[in-house]
Amino acid sequence: MKGDWFPNLVKVFYHNLKIVNGDIWSRVKGVNIHIDNDVWFQVVGLKAEGQFSHLPNSETNCWLKKKDVYKNWLRSPRRYTRERLYMYEGLKMEERKTAHLLAWVILPRRMMQDVMTTEDICLLHAIKNDIPTNWVEVLKDHMADAALSNSHYLSYVVLISKLLILQEAGALKKKKSYCIVSGSTYAMNDDRRSFVPETNFERYVVDQFRCLNEKVDQWERKYDEAQQRREDNTSDEDTMKTSNSE
């Protein structure tokens, strides 16, 4: 979601956030903010319908064998080890993309972005099996967790700002920023804005970071290709051994 957002007011919103009778309540600039199912539908377009697919102990997941499910998503299930529990590395392409989407866009906040949580496993299982998920509850619980843990990373800053505007929460024109990344997360201790290089040195640094990013992307693609070739060779060797034994 793109648009203006208000850092100070969003911080106050999260600081005062509470869940009362299943709805989000907060107080910003003397205004009570109430986010119920009707608001979720009007502003976000989400209906509070479906399963609580993100909860490990829900009816959908209570019998789910998460380790076995995760192993089936790996390109080489035989290489699974307990020490690398729920790592992104080794996932099949579709599962890896969906896992990154969950971590970076839908449920952003984590310090470690290369490891799936139990919640990720449950949601990815629901997505792959077309289980209807109550995304209102998913997002609401995610916001409540951030508030309860006093997280330095605040999610859905543009969405919350739109809700504050809708409910006329105080002097919204004082300090605002602009968010250009979907599902972006704001760091509470980070007062930086979008950086625009002005000097030759700054432009040089930006160019170096861009080149480094391109190289990292190339290395990752080459690594994935090499890993795939090794897996294919291993499969061929196993097939030959099976044929010879017969």
Per-residue pLDDT tens over the stretch 199-237: 555 565 556 556 655 665 666 676 667 767 777 776 655
First to last CA, the chain: 58
Average model confidence (pLDDT) for the chain?
77
Going by pLDDT thresholds of 50, 70 and 90, the confidence category of residue 36 is very high
Contacts 24+ apart (CB under 8 A), 144-149: 144/17, 144/19, 144/24, 146/14, 146/109, 147/14, 147/15, 147/17, 147/18
Instruction: Say whether pLDDT at 155 is over 80.
Output: yes
Query: What's the farthest any 2 CA atoms get from each other in the chain?
Result: 79
Instruction: Say whether pLDDT at 182 is over 50.
Output: no
Mean predicted confidence (pLDDT) in 144-171: 81
Lowest mean pLDDT among 8-22, 55-69, 78-92, 176-190: 176-190
Half-sphere exposure of 43 (CA within 13 A, CB side): 20
What is the model's pTM?
Answer: 0.68
